Structure 1
C-alpha cells in the first residue's frame, strides 16, 4: 500500500515537476540499484572541467549570465583552476627576436639582411608570444594580453613582409623604385611607435623596469621609422637604423630582465630580482607607509 509521501511524489511527477534527489548527480539518483545486490552509493560523474558539461543543472547560481538574447542561455561556470604566469614566456620570446634583429640593424659582423629573423619571428617571437598573450587573457590580465598578443602579431606580420619569395610584398613595392617600400615600411613602424606609446602610458604606475622596457622599445620604433622614412640613395638612413638597433638591444635585455623577475622566486632561486616600484604606485605607497609606521613606532618607543 502506497504511503502519503509516495502519493505526493506521484502527484508532483504528474504535474510536470522534476524531483531532484541529490543536487550533485545531474538529476539522477545517487544510489545504484542493482538486481540482487544491496544499494550502494554512486560517485558523481567527473566531466573534467568542461564548461559545457551539465553539472549542477538545478542550481541557478552555478550558471553564468545569459548573453546574446533570451534564447541563448548562459554557460555553466567552469571550476576554478590555477594557471602559471604566462608573461615570462611572452617576454622571453619578444626579447630573443628583438635581440637578433637589433644586432642585424646595428650591422654586427657585417650582417645586413634580416632573413634569419624570419624563422624566429614566425616561431618564437610570433607564435609563442601570441599564445602567451592568449593565456594572459585567460588569467585576467588585459594589459598583458594586449601587449603580448599585439607584439606576437607584429613579429608574424614582420616575417610575412620579409619572407623571401613567399608573399612578394617587397618585390611588388620595389618594382619601379625602392621608395614605395621604404615609405610603407616606415609608416608601418611609426604605427607601432604610436601603439607602444599608448602601452607606455599604462606602465607609469607599475615598476621602473617595466617602464624602461616600453620606453626603450618606443624609441627603437621611432628611430627605425624615421630611418626608413628619411631614406637616401643608398637606402634607409644608417645612423637612425643603428641607433634604433641600440635601443632594441636595451629593450631586449630589459624584457629578459622582467621575464627573470617573473620566473625567479623562493622556490627556484637564491635571490629575487628587484624591479623598483615607482613611489606613486600601489606597491610603492604600501612600502612607504610601512617605513613611516616603523619610524613613528620607533620615535614613540623613545
Structure 2
C-alpha cells in the first residue's frame, strides 16, 4: 500500500511538472512578445525629437480641462532620425555650416594674410586633386574604351571564327556529299560494267554451249547415220548441218558404201582373207568412232557417253545381222 501511495504521488508530481513546464513556456512566449513590442516602441520613440504630455480633468457632462506640454526627448537619437527622415540637402547644408565656422575660427586665429596664403595653398591643392581626378577619370575612360574595343574585337573574332567554322563544316559536308555521290556513281558504273561483263560472259558461254550442243548433236546424228548405213538400214534424213559436219557425214557414207559394195564388184581375194569385209567394217567403225570421239573430247564429253548414246540409237536395229 505504501508503494501504491508513492506511485500516486509520483504520478501527481509528473502531471504538475508538465503543467508547470507548459505554463513557464507560455509565460516565456508572452514575455518575449511584450519585450519585442517594447523594444520596437523604444526604437520608435528614440526618433522623436519631442515628447507630448497630455493631462485632462472632467468639468461637466460635455466639457473637460486639458493641459498639453511638449518636452525634449531625453532618449532622442539624431542619427536614427536623420536616417529615417533626413535629406541629402540638409546634410550638405550642415557640412557647409560646419566648414564656415571652422574657416571663421581659422581666420580669427591666423590673420588675414596667413589665412589667404592657406586658402591659396588649399585652392592649389584642390586644383591639383581635381586635375588628378580628371586625369584618372580620363585614363579610366580610355581604359574602358580600350577594354570595350578589345571586347568587341574578341566578340567579332569569335563570331568570325564561328562563321568560319560553320562555313568550313558546310564545305566539308558538301565535299563529303560530292565524294559520296562520285563514289556512288563510280560504284554504279563499276556495277554496270560488271553486269555487262557478266552478261557478255553469259552470252558467250551460252553461245559456246549452243555451239557445243550443236556440234555434239551433229556428231551424234552423223554417228547414227553411219551406224545405220553400216547395218544396211535406210538412213534417216539428217538436218542441215555445218560444212565440216556435212563433210564428215559424206566421208562416213562413202565408207559405208564401200563396205556394202557387192563382192562381185571387188577383186577376188585369197581364201585366208575371207573375213576382210568384216575387218574393213570394224576398221571403218573404229575410224568413225575416233572421228566422233575427237570433237567429243574437245567439248568435254567422254567416250562412254557417246557409246551409251550410240547403244540407245542402235537398240531398235538389234535384229539386223552384226558385221
Q: Normalising TM by the smaller chain, what interval?
A: under 0.3
TM-score (norm 2): 0.22
TM-score (norm 1): 0.23
Q: Which has the higher contact order (CA 8 A, sep 6+)?
A: 1
Higher helix share: 2
Larger Rg belongs to: 2
